[in-house]
């Protein structure tokens, strides 16, 4: 969703005319959004009707060339509750995705929808798209179970579409997008967010792990886009000290890493890192580094995520363990590598640690990389080698050589420079990026990625301008009240 909420986002279904445009259009965002939209449609139709429609489609059009509309027509016949053709047209032929705003109105809730745009600095006029949205929701009244309603699109394509959602009994809270199957985000009133904050701080069980992750995802995205006070997202994040499930920590760890990167070099950075360590320390100590083969996949995946987040937050024990483990491995050619579950963390943070033998460790890993035959291990080593802090790997003057070797038609090459540029976060680096693109105007398959990267830099600059002071103030006042370890 991060790419799809930019002003330059494009629809899934677009016309292409050149090979570069084909490479450019069929990117990760297009595939992931298409999968998310199909998953949302299946959830709304029900698995049996959806599978029946797919089966009919395959039987009718076997050995024939078809377009998307034929599939949508077949699915429409399988489910009469919604016009699947219009539903899919709006989700595939319009860029972006909707933000659903929720406001309690007595015993009911008033909903409105609009296109969500993260970068307000480059908003291009009024976005008038609306969508047909399948709404799955739960309330604090467990007797109602999971409820479902359709949020219709505005046929006149006005900026906002509204609906009234009635519930059987008065509810203290409503959680939209239950199960996180909908490709949209939800913003509640500040009072409603406070009720979720209070609920999860006392007991996480009323909401399942996926819904808790969904709340965190939406809160962080909305706060980053300045659609709500960052204090709301920070308040909600304090409950993570008690969180033990994989899905919420998957979302939270990404937010911690991204926010730390943006704050790096500011007066709020050290305090935010301390806050991150306070959230992570409990589950870090519970999981540890030792992998038990009898553990569930979720538990092992959670460990890898927590270790990466803890080391990223400069957790002293985490960094020391990673550094010592890598040094022991690199110093003995016959040593067994760390367990695969934790190997990437050991490699990346161990090699980044400042030590007297850092260069020697780098050289030993480099030699291992050269002779390694396993493709997965080579990838781990490659990423680790790029994490070293005191080695300059790529100079700007080598761009022309890279283009000659890989060509601009290569999707990875076309997007590589844009990925690097998107990490910039000040005006000087923005000008540098623009000058670089002016010097090398042929973008090939990376043309859209360049536009997106510039938008990302502008977003980063605006994010710092708006949020550094707010986050620092929260950490100094509310953070201390809520997380004693932050100021002890």
pLDDT tens, residue by residue, 305-315? 999 999 999 99
Name residue, tokens 């599978």: 51
pLDDT band of residue 120 (cuts 50, 70, 90) is low
Q: Smallest Cα–Cα separation from 87: which of 136, 46, 125, 42?
A: 42
pLDDT at 177 over 60: yes
List residues bridging with 165 in a β-sheet: 109
Please name each of the domains of the chain with its CATH number: 19-234 (2.60.40.1910), 235-486 (1.25.50.20)
Count Cβ atoms below 10 Å from residue 24 Cβ, excluding itself. Answer: 24
pLDDT band of residue 357 (cuts 50, 70, 90) is low
Q: Smallest Cα–Cα separation from 111: which of 119, 120, 121, 101?
A: 101
Q: How far is CA 179 from CA 39, 213, 226, in A?
A: 12, 10, 25
Backbone φ/ψ region at 151: left (φ over 0), alpha (ψ -120 to 50), beta: beta
The pLDDT of residue 485: 74
End-to-end CA distance of the chain: 38
Q: Which of 83-97, 278-292, 449-463 has the lowest mean pLDDT?
A: 449-463
pLDDT band of residue 317 (cuts 50, 70, 90) is very high
Backbone φ/ψ region at 46: left (φ over 0), alpha (ψ -120 to 50), beta: left
Contact between residue 178 and residue 146 where contact means Cβ atoms under 8 Å apart: yes
pLDDT at 289 over 90: yes
The pLDDT of residue 271: 94
Tally the residues of the chain. Answer: 488
Q: Which of 55-59, 181-185, 243-247, 380-384 has the lowest mean pLDDT?
A: 380-384
Is the model more confident about 390 or about 428?
428
The order of strands in the sheet holding 108-115 is 161-166, 108-115, 98-105, 185-187
Contact between residue 313 and residue 273 where contact means Cβ atoms under 8 Å apart: yes
pLDDT at 360 over 80: no
pLDDT at 391 over 80: no
Which of 31-35, 80-84, 371-375 has the largest mean confidence? 31-35
pLDDT band of residue 105 (cuts 50, 70, 90) is confident
DSSP 87-108: HHHHHHSS-S-EEEEEEEETTE
The average pLDDT across 378-400 equals: 63
List residues bridging with 185 in a β-sheet: 99
pLDDT at 159 over 60: no
CA–CA dist 250, 6 (Å, integer): 23
pLDDT at 69 over 90: no
pLDDT at 110 over 90: yes
pLDDT band of residue 404 (cuts 50, 70, 90) is low
CA–CA dist 172, 234 (Å, integer): 22
What are the phi and psi torsion angles at 267 (to 5°)? -70, -15
pLDDT at 434 over 90: no
List residues bridging with 417 in a β-sheet: none
């Amino acid at each position: 969703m991060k790419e799809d909420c930019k002003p330059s986002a494009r629809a899934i279904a677009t016309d292409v005319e050149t090979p570069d445009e084909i490479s450019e259009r069929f990117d990760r965002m297009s595939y992931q959004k298409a999968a998310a939209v199909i998953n949302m449609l299946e959830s709304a139709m029900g698995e049996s009707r959806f599978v029946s429609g797919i089966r009919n489609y395959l039987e009718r059009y076997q050995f024939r060339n078809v377009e998307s509309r034929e599939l949508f027509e077949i699915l429409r016949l399988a489910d009469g509750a919604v016009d699947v053709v219009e539903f899919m047209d709006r989700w595939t032929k319009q860029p972006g995705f909707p933000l659903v705003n929720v406001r309690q109105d007595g015993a009911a809730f008033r909903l409105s929808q609009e296109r969500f745009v993260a970068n307000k600095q480059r908003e291009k006029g009024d976005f008038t798209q609306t969508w047909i949205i399948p709404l799955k929701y739960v309330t604090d009244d467990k007797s109602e179970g999971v409820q479902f309603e359709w949020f219709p699109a505005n046929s006149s394509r006005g900026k906002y579409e509204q609906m009234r959602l009635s519930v059987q009994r008065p509810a203290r809270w409503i959680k939209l997008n239950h199960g996180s199957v909908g490709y949209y985000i939800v913003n509640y009133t500040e009072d409603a967010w406070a009720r979720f904050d209070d609920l999860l701080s006392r007991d996480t069980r009323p909401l399942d792990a996926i819904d808790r992750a969904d709340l965190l995802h939406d809160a962080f995205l909305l706060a980053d886009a300045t659609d709500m006070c960052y204090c709301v997202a920070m308040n909600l994040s304090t409950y993570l000290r008690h969180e033990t499930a994989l899905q919420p920590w998957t979302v939270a760890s990404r937010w911690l890493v991204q926010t730390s990167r943006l704050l790096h070099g500011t007066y709020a950075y050290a305090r935010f890192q301390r806050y991150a360590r306070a959230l992570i320390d409990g589950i870090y100590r519970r999981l540890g580094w030792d992998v038990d083969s009898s553990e569930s996949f979720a538990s092992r995946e959670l460990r890898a995520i927590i270790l990466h987040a803890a080391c990223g937050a400069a957790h002293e024990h985490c960094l020391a363990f990673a550094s010592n483990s890598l040094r022991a491995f690199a110093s003995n050619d016959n040593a067994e590598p760390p367990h695969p579950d934790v190997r990437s963390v050991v490699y990346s943070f161990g090699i980044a640690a400042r030590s007297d033998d850092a260069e020697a460790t780098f050289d030993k890993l480099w030699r291992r990389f050269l002779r390694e035959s396993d493709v997965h291990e080579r990838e781990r080593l490659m990423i680790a080698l790029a994490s070293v802090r005191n080695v300059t790997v790529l100079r700007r003057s080598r761009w022309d050589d890279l283009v000659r070797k890989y060509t601009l038609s290569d999707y990875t090459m076309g997007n590589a420079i844009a990925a690097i540029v998107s990490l910039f976060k000040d005006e000087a680096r923005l000008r540098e990026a623009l000058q670089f693109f002016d010097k090398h105007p042929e973008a090939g398959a990376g043309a859209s990625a360049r536009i997106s990267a510039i938008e990302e830099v502008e977003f980063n600059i605006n994010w710092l301008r708006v949020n550094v002071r707010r986050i620092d103030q929260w950490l100094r006042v509310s953070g201390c009240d809520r997380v004693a370890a932050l100021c002890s």
